[in-house]
């Protein structure tokens, strides 16, 4: 069975860690592995970064090497509609934990232009993606988190954005500040997805996403890249409601 077929037959691979340090080290190894594969195959590594608090420790572990910043392009899966100096800014968090330490060429860092109004920022980001890819979106790896309500990126339960089938980037309406987020047409075009989820408060959403019935209002469950390669890195708390061998 080829590696790709293995992934198709096992759409969600799950790794559970007793402690955060082991989880984040494994995540950094996955990013480095995906980067080396991408650069060997395509000459560049197109990495989609998650926001929120969970990935902070991962970004602080990423360094050059094993990343090759000159051939690694960074995009954000979502952003809050705030200035990059605002503590809520995902770009600010990524700058503090990664960009301040690893010498990425400025042209390799693709932030959302949140100095524009949210709808314009979303359109602008979509145009930047289209210009960069020159065809369908093709991220080599997407890092995603998940909220306790099962949202991922800024795709929230009940949002019209969950049913967006054309646009790659939209601005949400229900959140304050408004969010700019990639949609499933863009997320599900990724070669592979790596979810990082920690904390017992997320255990119900993890169990629902991984072992629950299909739910069109559970965003994390709707991340289904065509390659089928979705890996969940969980701590014991987040995994605590998973049934063994389900």
Residues in contact with ligand 6PG by the rule CB under 6 A: 50-54, 77-78, 90, 145-147, 151-154
Q: In this complex, which beta carbon is closest to ligand 6PG, that of residue 44 or of residue 56? A: 56
Evaluate whether 230 touches 196 at the Cβ level (below 8 Å): no
Minimum CB separation of residue 124 from ligand 6PG in Å reads 18
Q: In this complex, which beta carbon is closest to ligand 6PG, that of residue 39 or of residue 162? A: 162
Evaluate whether 7 touches 32 at the Cβ level (below 8 Å): no
Residues in the chain: 246
Minimum CB separation of residue 219 from ligand 6PG in Å reads 9
Minimum CB separation of residue 128 from ligand 6PG in Å reads 18
Evaluate whether 219 touches 210 at the Cβ level (below 8 Å): no
The contacts of residue 83 (CB under 8 Å, 6+ apart) are: 89, 114, 115
Query: C-alpha 168: how far from its chain's center?
Result: 14
Minimum CB separation of residue 197 from ligand 6PG in Å reads 8
Q: In this complex, which beta carbon is closest to ligand 6PG, that of residue 28 or of residue 153? A: 153
Q: Bridge partners of 170?
A: 181
Q: In this complex, which beta carbon is closest to ligand 6PG, that of residue 126 or of residue 235? A: 235
Tokens (6 digits) for 100: 């301040």
Minimum CB separation of residue 9 from ligand 6PG in Å reads 28
Q: In this complex, which beta carbon is closest to ligand 6PG, that of residue 147 or of residue 185? A: 147
- Within 136-183, where are the H helices? none
For residue 220, give the DSSP letter.
G
Tokens (6 digits) for 138: 């093709």
């Amino acid at each position: 069975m080829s590696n790709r077929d293995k992934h198709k037959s096992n759409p969600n691979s799950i790794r559970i860690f007793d402690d955060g340090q082991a989880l984040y080290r494994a995540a950094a190894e996955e990013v480095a592995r995906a980067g080396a594969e991408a650069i060997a195959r395509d000459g560049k590594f197109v990495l989609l970064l998650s926001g929120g608090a969970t990935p902070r420790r991962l970004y602080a572990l990423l360094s050059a090497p094993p990343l090759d910043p000159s051939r690694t392009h960074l995009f954000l899966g979502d952003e809050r509609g705030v200035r990059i100096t605002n503590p809520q800014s995902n770009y600010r968090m990524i700058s503090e934990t990664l960009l301040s330490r690893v010498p990425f060429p400025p042209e390799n860092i693709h932030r959302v232009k949140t100095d524009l109004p949210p709808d314009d920022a979303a359109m602008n980001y979509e145009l930047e993606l289209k210009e960069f890819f020159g065809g369908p979106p093709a991220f080599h790896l997407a890092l995603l988190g998940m909220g306790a309500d099962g949202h991922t990126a800024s795709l929230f339960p009940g949002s019209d954005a969950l049913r967006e089938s054309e646009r790659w980037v939209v601005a949400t309406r229900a959140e304050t500040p408004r969010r700019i987020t990639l949609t499933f047409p863009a997320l599900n075009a990724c070669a592979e997805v790596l979810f990082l989820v920690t904390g017992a408060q997320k255990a119900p959403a993890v169990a629902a996403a991984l072992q629950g019935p299909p739910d069109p209002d559970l965003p994390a469950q709707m991340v289904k890249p065509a390659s089928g390669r979705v890996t969940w890195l969980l701590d014991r708390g987040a995994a605590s409601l998973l049934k063994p061998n389900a």
